Amino acid sequence: MSAQITKLIAALAESERRRVAKQASMSETIQQIKEQVMNLARRPTTSAPDDTDDESDEDDYVEPTP
């Protein structure tokens, strides 16, 4: 019985160690994703090209429905 308890305690300790390691890895990944998102948010945006078609701009907009 004592050997079983010792094995269970060791298994529990190993499980906890793995859980902590996985949590640390996930936290690091989340931090990297946050940094990437912030870098994307800081990028200068490119402006849309000028509308060079010969058509009227009237067809670019939809009238609101009554």
- Report pLDDT digits (tens) over 21-50: 999 999 999 999 999 999 998 887 776 666
Residues 6+ away with beta carbon under 8 Å from 57: 51
Spatial contact of 57 and 51, defined as CB atoms under 8 Å apart: yes
> What's the CA gap between 33 and 26, in Å, rounded?
11
Which of 4-13, 36-45, 55-64 has the highest average model confidence (pLDDT)?
4-13
Q: What is the mean pLDDT of the segment spanning 3-22?
A: 97
pLDDT of residue 44: 78
Residue 55, pLDDT > 70, answer no
Q: Domain spans of the chain? A: 1-40
pLDDT of residue 10: 97
HEC string of the chain equals: CHHHHHHHHHHHHHHHHHHHHHHHHHHHHHHHHHHHHHHHHHCCCCCCCCCCCCCCHHHHCCCCCC
